[in-house]
């Protein structure tokens, strides 16, 4: 009985995360369009895109790994989300959090990328190979400040459980990590810019130079899966950051406001800056963000 309820709650939680992630994506597309002076697609456009991708009748496959790519990516997004307690103190949205979940979540964030790299490699498109190279390099680069920041957090709160970290921040706004440990927060926010792959860090999917990068060869339901994952993964990342640095959320509306605000950081940076080259992006992450991360670690 307990397991059944748990599974049901998890299901609800995943659906909410998915819908919210896609809606945020839709809103962001609208905002970017407005910044460009365009009208922009409707907010529900990501949903239509997913339906239509799944409505493709024929499909081309390039081998077994080709199928596994999106599956791994999806599993990565799902895995990231299900181990994050989305709403603090809520039964439905506590997901599968446990005492060491921070490490697992960190692992899952990068798991999807690796799976995608394998699948894209099987696709055999040269642009995919370039993009995978870029993606893995950039991922390694921004993982460094992120990991440093997480270690700093773990020493600060003396725990690896996200729930405990959130609980420690409940004493009021001034107890949020962003105020108690600003260096770690900024290092991680830089890493978030890279993770969200908005410009200037969209070297991986750069549609103009390497047609969409890894998903070049993907179509139909596989592409639909990638897009679905984009919804969940965005929610997961944002919720993780909200939990770790911005005091978590006590209910869904607060969660929505906070995650949206965090995402806006990426968006503002994205519409303001043109794309880096791969080497510039990597140098950037190994520069200021890493130094911030190291400082954060030293101060603790």
Residues that bind another protein (CB under 8 A): 29, 33, 36-42, 45, 48-49, 51-53, 55-60, 207-208, 211-212, 215-220, 223
User: What value, to the nearest 5°, has the Cα angle with vertex 208 and ends 206 and 212?
Assistant: 45
Q: Rounded to the nearest whole angstrom, what is the least distance from the CB of residue 129 to another protein in the complex?
A: 15
List the beta strands (DSSP E) in 93-188: none
Instruction: Tell the residue number behind the tokens 């130094």, with chain if given.
Output: 291
Q: Which is nearer to another protein, 40 or 248 (CB)?
A: 40
- Which of 180, 149, 162, 150 is closest to 293 using CA atoms? 149
With a CB cutoff of 8 Å and minimum separation 6, the contacts of 251 are 87, 90
Q: Rounded to the nearest whole angstrom, what is the least distance from the CB of residue 14 to another protein in the complex?
A: 22
Q: Rounded to the nearest whole angstrom, what is the least distance from the CB of residue 33 to another protein in the complex?
A: 6
192, 265 in Cβ contact below 8 A? yes
Alpha-carbon span 70 to 190, nearest angstrom: 26
Q: Which is nearer to another protein, 28 or 148 (CB)?
A: 28
Q: Which is nearer to another protein, 124 or 287 (CB)?
A: 124
Q: Which is nearer to another protein, 207 or 287 (CB)?
A: 207
Q: Rounded to the nearest whole angstrom, what is the least distance from the CB of residue 179 to another protein in the complex?
A: 39
Q: Which is nearer to another protein, 61 or 256 (CB)?
A: 61
Q: Rounded to the nearest whole angstrom, what is the least distance from the CB of residue 63 to another protein in the complex?
A: 13
Q: Which is nearer to another protein, 123 or 293 (CB)?
A: 123
Alpha-carbon span 80 to 225, nearest angstrom: 16
Alpha-carbon span 45 to 25, nearest angstrom: 9
Q: Rounded to the nearest whole angstrom, what is the least distance from the CB of residue 124 to another protein in the complex?
A: 12
Instruction: Tell the residue number behind the tokens 């790299």, with chain if given.
Output: 117
Q: State residue 199 phi and psi, 5-degree precision.
A: -60, 145
Provide the 8-state DSSP code for 274.
Answer: P
Instruction: Tell the residue number behind the tokens 């390497």, with chain if given.
Output: 210
- Which of 295, 294, 288, 186 is closest to 246 using CA atoms? 186
Q: Which is nearer to another protein, 61 or 294 (CB)?
A: 61
Q: Rounded to the nearest whole angstrom, what is the least distance from the CB of residue 161 to another protein in the complex?
A: 41
Q: Give the CA diameter of the chain.
A: 57
């Amino acid at each position: 009985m307990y397991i059944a309820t748990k599974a049901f709650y998890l299901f609800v939680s995943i659906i909410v995360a998915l819908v919210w992630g896609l809606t945020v994506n839709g809103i962001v597309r609208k905002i970017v369009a407005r910044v460009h002076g365009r009208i922009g697609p409707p907010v529900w456009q990501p949903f239509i895109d997913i339906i239509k991708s799944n409505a493709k009748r024929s499909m081309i496959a390039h081998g077994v790994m080709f199928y596994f790519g999106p599956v791994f990516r999806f599993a990565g997004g799902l895995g990231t989300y299900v181990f994050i307690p989305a709403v603090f103190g809520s039964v439905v949205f506590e997901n599968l959090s446990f005492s060491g979940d921070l490490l697992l979540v960190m692992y899952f964030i990068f798991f999807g990328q690796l799976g995608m790299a394998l699948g894209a490699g099987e696709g055999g498109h040269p642009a995919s190979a370039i993009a995978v190279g870029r993606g893995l390099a950039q991922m390694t680069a921004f993982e460094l400040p992120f990991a440093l920041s997480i270690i700093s957090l773990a020493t600060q709160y003396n725990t690896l459980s996200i729930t405990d970290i959130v609980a420690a921040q409940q004493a009021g706004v001034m107890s949020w990590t962003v105020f108690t440990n600003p260096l770690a927060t900024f290092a991680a926010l830089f890493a978030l810019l890279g993770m969200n792959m908005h410009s200037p860090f969209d070297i991986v999917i750069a549609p103009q130079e390497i047609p969409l990068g890894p998903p070049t060869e993907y179509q139909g339901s596989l592409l639909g899966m990638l897009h679905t994952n984009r919804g969940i993964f965005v929610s997961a990342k944002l919720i993780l950051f909200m939990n770790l640095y911005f005091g978590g959320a006590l209910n869904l509306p607060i969660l929505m406001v906070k995650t949206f605000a965090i995402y806006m950081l990426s968006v503002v940076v994205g519409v303001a800056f043109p794309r880096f080259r791969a080497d510039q992006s990597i140098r950037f992450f190994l520069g200021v963000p890493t130094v911030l991360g190291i400082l954060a670690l030293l101060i603790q």
